[in-house]
Amino acid sequence: MNGYQRINAVLNGQWPDKRPVMLHNFLMAIHEAGVSHAQYRSDPEIVAKVHIAAAEKYGVDGVMIDVDTVTLAEAVGVPVDHPENDPARSHEASLTSIEQVDDLEAIDLGKNERVQVWVEGVRLIKEYFGEEKFVRGNCDQAPFSLASMMRTPNEWMMDLVMEENHERVFKLLDYCTDVTSQFIRLMAQTGADMVSNGDSPAGPAMISPAMYREFALPYEKRVVEIAHECGLPYMLHICGDTTSILAAMKESGTDSIELDYGTDIQAVHDVFGNDVVFSGCIDPSGVLLQGTPELVAAKTQEVLDIYADSPAYIVNAGCAVPTLTPEENLRALVETAHNTEISPREVRRKDGTRQLV
């Protein structure tokens, strides 16, 4: 099997010949390519060059393309800084009061230059790899996260707890769902094999499980449906310890979940089983950046051992691989994944049938 075939098999409930690896490594890849973030986010050919070089260097099975976490925020009016050698970032609200939601105007995301760079970069990468490697086009922020950026996290939390604001809260979430959905549809036109979003402000570090069900989950469901309408599998990413909302996240209908190292891995295995593919959750800082190759191999093996009875696992860091991660540590992760023996056994597939591959 090649990389594309391995990840495709896993997403279809089948055993691959080797555990696949698909890394969230754009920060490290930019650094190793010797280009600036300013160059990267402004030129689709550089986006493609960066990810193609990293994928071939480390022999990964899938390529995850990310640019930053504020492209959609900037597209809807959030003030954004563009440092030369760091990802773009936001600090201010575009909506200084919740009442301004009433004045929001629809946008055509396809006309946004930064979005055009992102999707064209993905198209070039998919064109290059064809069906050799699996290509995941990340689509920036899920609706709840985007709304948080438009209001800033502190003001957004106040909006959520003040019931008199809820009508406008839901109106803003509808608006953000449209924006996120536009990005997914644009990404689907690139030939990408999967789409994804991040929704980290919806995690337990920011809101309660009950608030997650009320304000985030319904909108995650809607963007998953959009991805499926486009004929693509979907991956949802939430940072931090998500153990308390795993069952709710499963209800989103997502095909795969990308989770951080703080989450209980055994709980992930037990809740998702073979129905939702798990991606993660090697500690990107304490292990990949600061650890030794031996520690990386040991921590990777811990997750592989928990998932020894299931094909539903893609090896990955829990979040973005840090810029200065040692090359030997990333190689240790890939080698451990690819060299761990797989013992296929009967598993229950998503359609309810059982199969031994």
> pLDDT tens, 267-296?
999 999 999 999 999 999 999 999 999 999
Is the separation of the CB atoms in 315 and 21 below 8 Å?
A: yes
Query: How high is the pLDDT of residue 355?
Result: 52
Residue found by looking up tokens 């055509």 in the block? 108
Q: What is the mean pLDDT of the chain?
A: 96
Region for 163 from its dihedrals, namely left if φ exceeds 0, alpha if ψ lies in -120 to 50, beta otherwise: alpha
Residue found by looking up tokens 């030794």 in the block? 292
Q: Which domain holds residue 300?
A: 3-355
Query: How high is the pLDDT of residue 343?
Result: 79
DSSP 214: I
pLDDT digits (tens, 9 = 90+) for 206-255: 999 999 999 999 999 999 999 999 999 999 999 999 999 999 999 999 99
How many CB atoms lie under 10 A from the CB of residue 245? 24
Query: How high is the pLDDT of residue 356?
Result: 46
Question: What's at 116, amino acid-wise?
Answer: Q
Indicate the pLDDT class of residue 190, thresholds 50, 70 and 90. Answer: very high
Rg (alpha carbons) of the chain, rounded to whole number: 19
Domain count, the chain: 1
CATH of the domain at 190: 3.20.20.210
pLDDT at 45 over 90: yes
Task: Compute the residue count for the chain.
Answer: 357
CA dist 51 and 59 (Å) reads: 12
DSSP 21: B
The least confident of 89-93, 229-233, 352-356 is: 352-356
